[in-house]
Chains A and B, each alone.
Chain A
Amino acid sequence: MSAQSIKWFWFASPQTFFPLAGTLARWCGAAAALLAAAGLYIGFFVAPTDAQQGEAYRVIFIHVPAAWMSMLLYAVMAFWAALGLAFNTRLSAMMASALAPTGALFTFIALWTGSLWGKPTWGTYWVWDARLTSELILLFLYLGFMALQAAIDDPRRADRAGALLAIVGVVNIPIIYYSVKWWNTLHQGSSVSLKSAPTMAATMFTGMIVMALAFWLYSIAVTLLRVRCIIRERA
């Protein structure tokens, strides 16, 4: 077994992970604040006014990063939940529990900002469109996971029940992602893909990516702080 994998097991123990998580959280939090400031500056002062949507499009700098985070955090949460279920590692289950509130928050933000963006561009705050509906289901999955865990007193049983729900719910992630392709939706298709150049101005794209990085680092910082809190509470 290589030295690398031994190190991983070393940090899989809550006791050794605890101080590392604190240091990482501080750095990620500081970097998130700096990136958010840079992203907001680019979003409001560098990126030009959109030819079709005017200033309303500026919601994009939080809407798209928040929507990405909502799906990514769920995938990461399900990953840790599955790992905890398979190997019975305490820290994995704690990571899943620590991710859920932040994931729910970004899902709500994606829905809220989408709604406020929909009104001036589509003429409505809400439609039962495939993309919007599947994202709403994602919010219910996060809330269901948290409620289920809170309802079970024994933490080990709560972890296992939550893990099952999280794993089953993963099916919703590709549904959200491909909804704009599979169904005729009011929601537009993605402007950014891995296969082709983004169909938007370079400064708009940069602002979006910088904000996405800020949300990433924020999520890491908050999750690590919360996992430290869970370790303390269960000690």
Chain B
Amino acid sequence: MNEFLAMGGYAWYVWGSYGVTFALLALEVFFLTKRIRRAKASEATP
């Protein structure tokens, strides 16, 4: 397991890439969900 996480000494480069990518995709979904909720709310109360 530790060997897997170490990525042959390239842990920062590999996990830095994957971590930032999936964090950004999650953030996009989070902000989009918020925007949808806001749009729905303002539609309900014109």
Q: Say yes or no: A62 contacts B18, CB within 8 Å.
A: yes
Which residues of B are found within 8 Å of A59, using beta-carbon distances? 13-14, 17
CA distance A136 to B44 in the complex (A): 41
- Is A112's CB within 8 Å of the partner chain B? yes
Q: Say yes or no: B28 contacts A102, CB within 8 Å.
A: yes
Stretch at the interface among A2-10, A159-167, A200-208, A226-234: A226-234
Contact-size category for B: 20 to 34
Q: Say yes or no: A62 contacts B17, CB within 8 Å.
A: yes
Q: Say yes or no: A109 contacts B21, CB within 8 Å.
A: yes
Given the known inter-chain contacts A120-B10, A232-B43, A233-B39, please indicate yes or no for A113 contacting B17, CB distance below 8 A: yes
**What's the least CB distance linking B11 to chain A, in Å?**
9
CA distance A56 to B15 in the complex (A): 10
- Is B1's CB within 8 Å of the partner chain A? no
Q: Say yes or no: B8 contacts A55, CB within 8 Å.
A: yes
Q: Say yes or no: A56 contacts B13, CB within 8 Å.
A: yes
Give the total of A residues in contact with B, Cβ under 8 Å: 30
Q: Say yes or no: A235 contacts B43, CB within 8 Å.
A: yes
Q: For B27, give the chain A residue with the smallest CB separation.
A: A105
CA distance A226 to B29 in the complex (A): 10
Q: Say yes or no: A108 contacts B17, CB within 8 Å.
A: no
Most buried by A among B4, B17, B29, B39: B17
- Is A76's CB within 8 Å of the partner chain B? no
Q: Say yes or no: A225 contacts B17, CB within 8 Å.
A: no
Q: For A218, give the chain B residue with the smallest CB separation.
A: B25
Known A-B contacts: A54-B8, A233-B42. Give 10 more (CB < 8 A): A49-B8, A54-B9, A56-B13, A59-B14, A62-B21, A63-B17, A116-B12, A222-B29, A228-B36, A229-B36
Q: Say yes or no: B40 contacts A232, CB within 8 Å.
A: yes
Q: For A45, give the chain B residue with the smallest CB separation.
A: B4
- List A residues 77-119 near B (Cβ within 8 Å): 101-102, 105, 108-109, 112-113, 116-117, 119
Which residues of B are found within 8 Å of A44, using beta-carbon distances? 4
Q: Say yes or no: B36 contacts A105, CB within 8 Å.
A: no
Q: For A102, give the chain B residue with the smallest CB separation.
A: B28
Q: Say yes or no: A55 contacts B40, CB within 8 Å.
A: no
**What's the least CB distance linking A27 to chain B, in Å?**
16
